[in-house]
Amino acid sequence: MTMGKYRTFYTICPKTLAKILPISFTFLLFHAMIAIEYFSYIRKNFFVNSGGNVNENTWLLQR
């Protein structure tokens, strides 16, 4: 088994953590922002207008 190699590779080294953490943090923040925008867009177009106008309900199908 080559787990020992990976275990020494994944030991917490402050230099690699300082390199990896900002990238992963911005990556996660970026995707969280996209997910929030996407879900608010879905909620705005499908749940708010569900009782209202047919043209607003089929907004995605028309465009």
What does the pLDDT read at residue 19?
77
What is the residue-wise DSSP string for 7-20? Answer: HHHSS--HHHHHHH
Give the structural domain span for 27: 3-62
* Amino acid identity at 56: E
What is the model's pTM?
A: 0.39
Quick check: 41 and 48 in contact, CB under 8 A?
no
pLDDT by residue (tens digit) across 11-22? 667 777 777 777
Token digits for 26?
A: 């911005």
pLDDT by residue (tens digit) across 2-61? 555 666 666 667 777 777 777 888 888 888 888 888 887 777 766 655 555 555 555 555
Domain count of the fold of the chain:
1
